[in-house]
Amino acid sequence: MAKTIVSVFDDATSAQSAVHELQAAGVSPNHIRLTSNSEATEAARKGSRAEQGEQGWTDKVVDFFGSLFEDEDDKSQASTYAEAWRRGHYLVIADVESAQVDRAVAILNRLGTVDLGRRAEHWKKTGFTGAYDLKAAPYTAEQRKRELAEYGETKAVPVVQEELLVGKQVVQRGGVRVHSYVHERPVEEVVRLREERVNVERRPANRAVQPGDIAFQERTVDVTAQGEEAVAAKKPRVVEEVVVSKSATQREETVRDTVRREDVDVERIEETDAKAAAQRPATARPTSPSTHR
């Protein structure tokens, strides 16, 4: 979901730098707008209200900022941003995806976006009531220069230093893959088998009949022979186990890189230089830009 970030800058250079860095950070150029009251001043110079249509540029300013601040709680901010626009500040308006908001805000803060709440308190000392004055004309370049010289705000120069962040990630280091497959091989075993045979023998005899002999009766005598045959059967048997396990060890590794740090040199300005510097636009104290859906 996209969010709208509105940032106020004192000078065109900082505002242009903000636009370029937002684009470099991945924000589409079609979703970034840089505006100032010079547009309205030029429109007013070229034609009257009637020539511009039923709605004059002052009404358009209020409608434009009103559309950015639709929530009732934010309506008062619409007037404050419109007043900043009227006084000649440069406004950077960007529609930024949620994932890019933090980075975009950091860029705008680093380039010196104005603390608008503090600036509005200063305006109230000069007659600003908190509501946009439709009859008030946009500031001229001279008015703008004088007002910047009057702010006298504390300037904050950010000193940026990089930190080396070292983490860990799991990577594959190889391993083993165990396959199980079946093959056949011929085997043989020797078994001793027993065989019986029936032998018939006739032998001559010459003796008297004895008790127990059966005489003169028909009879049948069966004598059978037995033998053994080899019978084969198979059953599975576990003869070996393949055990696969993992063991972990720890090692230390030193990560080396370079980090950058900004250094600030403070130079004392002589009295003549200080007077000249007072005539140049000042850089506002960085603060968080306003973010709205």
- What are the structural domain ranges in the chain? 2-166+259-292
pLDDT reported for residue 22: 92
pLDDT reported for residue 114: 86
Higher pLDDT, 139 or 22: 22
Residues in the chain, overall count: 293
Q: Is the pLDDT of residue 293 over 50?
A: no
Q: How far is CA 235 from CA 151, 191, 232, 238, in A?
A: 99, 18, 10, 10
Q: How far is CA 143 from CA 13, 120, 280, 286, in A?
A: 19, 17, 13, 23
Average pLDDT over residues 204-208: 86
Residue 111 burial (CB count, 10 A): 24
Q: Is the pLDDT of residue 63 over 70?
A: no
Q: Is the pLDDT of residue 230 over 60?
A: yes
Average of per-residue pLDDT values in the chain: 78
pLDDT reported for residue 75: 64
Torsion of CA 127, 33, 62, 121, to 10 degrees: -20
Q: β-strands 290-292, 2-9: how paired?
A: antiparallel
For the ranges 106-115, 124-133, 267-276, the lowest mean pLDDT is seen at 267-276
Q: Is the pLDDT of residue 83 over 50?
A: yes
Percent of all residues in the chain with a pLDDT value above 70, rounded to a whole number: 76
Q: Is pTM, for the whole model, over 0.75?
A: no
pLDDT reported for residue 250: 87
pLDDT reported for residue 207: 85
Average pLDDT over residues 235-254: 87
pLDDT reported for residue 57: 54
Stretch (H or E) spanning 97: strand 90-97
Question: Which residues partner with 9 through β-bridges?
Answer: 90
Average pLDDT over residues 151-172: 75
Q: Is the pLDDT of residue 131 over 50?
A: yes
pLDDT reported for residue 39: 62
Q: Most confidently modeled of 56-70, 152-166, 244-258?
A: 244-258
pLDDT reported for residue 66: 66
Average pLDDT over residues 266-292: 51
